[in-house]
Amino acid sequence: MELRSNEFKARAAANLGDAKLQKGLGLIKVKAVVNRANAVAEFGDFEALREAGKAIRNRALADLDLYLERFEREATARGAVVHWAENASEACRIVVAIARENGVKTVAKSKSMVSEEVGLNDTLIEAGVTPIETDLGEYILQINDAEPPSHIVMPVIHKTAEDVADLFHEKHGTPRKTDPAALTREAREILRPKFLSADMGVSGANFLVAETGSTLIVTNEGNGRLCTTLPRLHVALTGIEKVVPTLEDASTLLRLLPRSATGQAITNYVSVHTGPKHIDESDGPQQFHIVLVDNGRSKLLAGEMREMLRCIRCGACMNHCPVYQAVGGHAYGWVYPGPMGNILTPSYVGLENAVALPNAATMCNQCGVVCPVKIPLPDLMRKLREEQMARGLKPWPERAGLALWGWAAQQPALYALGTRIAARFMKWLGGSEKLIHRLPLAAGWTNGRDFPAPEGRTFRELYKARRK
Amino acid sequence: MSSRDAILGRVRSALGRKVSLPDTAAIESYIAAHPVGLQPPRDWEPELRFRARAEALASTVEKVSSLQAVPGAVARYLVVNKLPTGGVCWPSLRKLDWIGAGLGMEDRPARGDDLVGVTGCYCAIAETGTLMLASGPDTPAAASLLPETHIAVVDTARIVPFMEDAWALLRAERGGLPRAVNFVSGPSRTADIEQTVTMGAHGPYRVHIILVG
């Protein structure tokens, strides 16, 4: 997927004025957020469940090499073929090679963020293989000139039913309809023959189970089941961090993932695949390939961002993020938007290529509070901000300003004098309205709103006066 | 060096492994023990809970007293809902008297245009109102997936409280997993367009559960 994270500011500004996008984002607050809250309350001790989820993911990461080897051994024993990809291009090469060796013409894909991450569709098309996205949201994006998704769970959150109505009318040549149920049926009828004729199915994996060598996917639409049942080949593409030790551990995480993502106690379908079809079975793929993608994950394991590898991709952090809710997913410029993207994008593509992202947060910790595996997202963003300063990736006025502030804050007398002057100056600026319309050196802040003027005395002055 | 060795090498160095062949005893004993994690409180009777949960997920549920009564129940459901009276069934259900109930159920692999699929289930999970389907020669996965109507026959003796109990049952009865385990919780759905929940995305529009017991 094309990287545009350094355009964050411009795209965020544009998105704030996009009425259709704002309508879709507004729905998150009244649907996804409310549904999650209800599901969490209904469960009971969700806090204990989050602790349990965190412990399982930490256990897997603490012995990641051993669990991966166990996974590989079990999967291979059951007849699956396990491939290892160091990076995006190798992952694509592996899938294209499987397609070529087997004379694959069309690929039915169920939603996989790793496939977006490695840019699989473009590579398949270059190799003469036609990928068909079958998740309704991803299908809508694909026929709209391969538009990128704007949410990891609800990829077309930025589109209205009217948009989809226009798109289907134009691309399918059918009478225009706006009812979501009728649009869904139309997509079903167009995609059904494509499922039946596809040579290969590509899925992701929400979890890899080391105990049994199985891949596990959660879906609601059933497209994931079709992609992994009907075509003669199944390729599951996923990150190396997705491994969990046992089926019981997967069950615990399944109590967290759908509740956090959509407020469901369980997704409509949870599918666990172990090896290819047996000779006496009437359905299932003849070949089952599992591509384990690193693409920066092992590097994360070694550093301060390690906790990010616990992520189970529920999207709760973005649903609850005031910045995401305002600017939408496309502003983030890569596969993973919202707080998780603020950490994953710079980690995977380089901090210099996503300078704005660790700063695209208010540090309100809504993300940290809802994260099902308790990733301290604001702490990780703060560490990335520190690294940006250390590496000189921020503009010089910001660095100079912070350096000056840092120096002054270590001189108590000077600091007290400076704040006394500033408080009085700002009171004067505020005038009788007690509102500052334009703040020197911080015009960006006052362009969109007024700054409430201070009362003229500093905290230390007031404290001293009160003690007397 | 292969990509596999390079990736595992980086993982090992990130984890600070000092020896080239780390001891797997700890992870193997954890896997062998596969401890059950946090479950919600079990303050319900499994059959009642299963039924309430399945209905909350938009499945319909009825109960008959014996397996022989299933074809009649299927026929009534299809007629009342003005649905076709023919389709596919799992080979494991081929011995039921479908013809006697006026139905044309064929025990062949499901096709894309089949409208009704009748299956059994390996077991059912009370916590979430979920069917657990285990693939096999007599229990193919597509029969519960391609048709617009999925009718599932559930032996009430095989309703277990939690998903972990279903794993335990599979380990005890089969020694491991079949090719595909599909957990089904109601008709297929999507909320991709304006977060409006719509039934019948790519799988069945309706799931009807016939409890036997």
Closest in B7, B11, B192 to A136, CB measured: B192
Alpha helices per DSSP H over A212-357: 223-229, 247-262, 297-302, 316-319, 322-327, 338-349
Q: Are A404 and A433 members of one domain? A: yes
Residue A100 C-alpha, separation from nearest chain B C-alpha, in angstroms: 21
Distance from CA of residue A461 to its chain's centroid? 47
In chain B, domain spans = 42-212
Inter-chain contact A225–B203, Cβ cutoff 8 Å? Answer: yes
What's domain B42-212's architecture?
Answer: 3-Layer(aba) Sandwich (3.40)
CB A209 within 8 A of CB A246: yes
Position A301 in a domain: no
Q: For helices A180-197 and A136-143, what crossing angle results, to 10°?
A: 80
Residue of A nearest to B163 (CA): A251
Mind listing the pLDDT tens digit of every residue in chain B (213 residues)?
Answer: 899 999 999 999 999 998 777 889 999 999 999 999 999 999 999 999 999 999 999 999 999 999 999 999 999 999 999 999 999 999 999 999 999 999 999 999 999 999 999 999 999 999 999 999 999 999 999 999 999 999 999 999 999 999 999 999 999 999 999 999 999 999 999 999 988 899 999 999 999 999 999
Residue A427 is part of which domain span? 397-467
Contacts of B182 in chain A (CB under 8 A): 225, 269-272
ipTM attached to this prediction: 0.97
Chain B residues inside the 8 Å CB shell of A255 = 38-40
Answer whether A180 sits within 8 Å of B193, measured CB to CB.
yes
Q: A238 and A153 in one domain?
A: yes
Local mean pLDDT, 10-residue blocks, chain A (468 residues):
91 93 91 96 96 98 98 98 98 98 97 95 97 95 94 93 95 95 94 94 98 97 95 98 98 98 96 96 96 97 97 98 96 96 96 95 97 98 94 88 90 91 91 87 82 89 88
Nearest Cβ partner for A184 among B162, B179, B190 = B190
Which pLDDT does position A401 carry in this prediction? 87
- Contacts of residue B108 in chain A, CB cutoff 8 Å? 282
Tell me how crowded residue A444 is: count the other CB atoms within 10 A of its CB. Answer: 9
pLDDT at A179: 93
Lookup result for tokens 């596999």: B4
Terminal-residue alpha carbon distance, chain A: 64
A281 and A372 together in one domain: no
User: How many contacts does A have with B, using Cβ atoms within 8 A?
Assistant: 256
The reported pLDDT for the residue numbered A267 is: 97
Spatial neighbors of A321 by CB under 8 A, at least 6 apart, are: A338, A339, A361, A366, A367
Closest Cα partner for A157 from A176, A137, A182? A137
Interface contact A221-B201, CB threshold 8 A = yes
Residue A421 domain flag = yes
A276 plus A205 within the same structural domain: yes
Contact B11 A65 (CB under 8 A): yes
User: Are residues A371 and A426 both part of a single domain?
Assistant: no
Find out whether A132 and A142 touch, Cβ atoms under 8 Å.
Answer: yes
Query: Which 3 state secondary structure label does DSSP give B162?
Result: coil
Q: How far apart are the first and last CA of chain B?
A: 60
Distance in angstroms (rounded) separating the CA atoms of residues A440 and A431:
15
Please give, one letter per residue, the 3-state secondary structure of B106-147.
Answer: ECCCCCCCCCEEEECCCEEECCCCEEEEECCCCCCHHHHCCC
- Residue A302 inside a domain? The answer is no
Binary contact (A184, B186; C-beta < 8 A):
no
User: Which residues in chain A touch residue B191, judged by CB atoms under 8 angstroms apart?
Assistant: 31, 154, 220, 262
Listed residue (A80, A273, A278) closest to B137, CA to CA: A278
Kindly determine whether residue B141 and residue A225, on different chains, have CB atoms separated by under 8 Å: yes
Domain assignment present for A307: no
Q: A258: which 2 tokens?
A: 């759908």
**Are A99 and A182 in a shared domain?**
yes
Do A406 and A387 share a domain, yes or no? no
CA distance A439 to A117: 41
Which pLDDT belongs to residue A438? 87
Cβ-Cβ contacts under 8 Å, A73 against chain B: none
- Note whether A222 and A289 are same-domain residues: yes
**CATH code of residue A182:** 3.40.50.10420
Contacts 24+ apart (CB under 8 A), A45-50: A45/B38, A46/A259, A48/B38, A49/A252, A49/A255, A49/A256, A49/A372, A49/B38, A50/A256, A50/A371, A50/A372, A50/A373, A50/A374
Establish if A222 belongs to a structural domain. Answer: yes
Residue among A274, A161, A426, A40 at smallest CA distance from B179: A274
Q: One-letter amino acid identity for A201?
A: G
User: Alpha helices of chain B — where are they, by DSSP H?
Assistant: 3-14, 25-33, 46-56, 70-80, 163-174
Euclidean distance between CA atoms B97 and A197, whole angstroms: 34
Residue A8 φ/ψ region, left for φ over 0, alpha for ψ in the -120 to 50 degree band, beta for the rest: alpha
Contact assignment for A90 to B180 by CB distance below 8 Å:
no
Please tell me whether residues A111 and A258 are part of one structural domain: yes
Nearest CA in chain A to B162: A251
Which string of b and e fits B40-64 if b means at least 16 CB within 10 Å? beeeeebbebbbebbeebbbbbeeb
Give the C-alpha separation, A168 to A162, whole Å. Answer: 10
Q: How far apart are CA B64 and CA B81, in angstroms?
A: 18
CA–CA dist A400, A389 (Å, integer): 10
Q: How far apart are CA A408 and CA B6, in angstroms?
A: 48
The nearest CA of chain B is from the CA of A372 a distance in Å of 14
Whether B112 and A196 lie within 8 Å, measured CB to CB: yes
By Cβ distance, the residue of A48, A212, A254 closest to B176 is: A212
User: What residue of B is the nearest CA neighbor of A230?
Assistant: B142
Sequence length of chain A is 468
Q: Is residue A45 part of a domain?
A: no
Question: In angstroms, what separates the C-alpha of A360 from chain B's closest C-alpha?
Answer: 25
Q: A425 with A382, same domain? A: no
Identify whether residues A259 and A276 lie together within a single domain.
yes
Residue A119 distance to chain B (closest CA, Å) = 19
Interface probe for B, chosen from A57, A158, A195, A247 (most Cβ of B below 10 Å), is A247
From A366, A394, A422, give the residue that closes a domain. A394
Contact B140 A271 (CB under 8 A): no
How far is the alpha carbon of B85 from chain A, nearest alpha carbon, in Å? 22
Q: Is residue A47 part of a domain?
A: no
Distance CA B18, CA B66 (A): 62
Alpha carbons A210 and A215: distance in angstroms, whole number: 9
On whether both A14 and A146 belong to a single domain, the answer is no
Say if the Cβ atoms of A268 and B12 lie within 8 Å. Answer: no
Rounded distance between C-alpha atoms, residue A89 and residue A141, angstroms: 23
pLDDT at A169: 96
In a domain, A53, yes or no: no
- CA of B77 to nearest chain A CA: how many angstroms apart? 22
Q: How many domains does chain A have?
A: 3
Residue A309, pLDDT score = 98
In a mutational test of the B interface, the residue from A22, A94, A268 whose CB has the highest number of chain B CBs within 10 Å is: A268
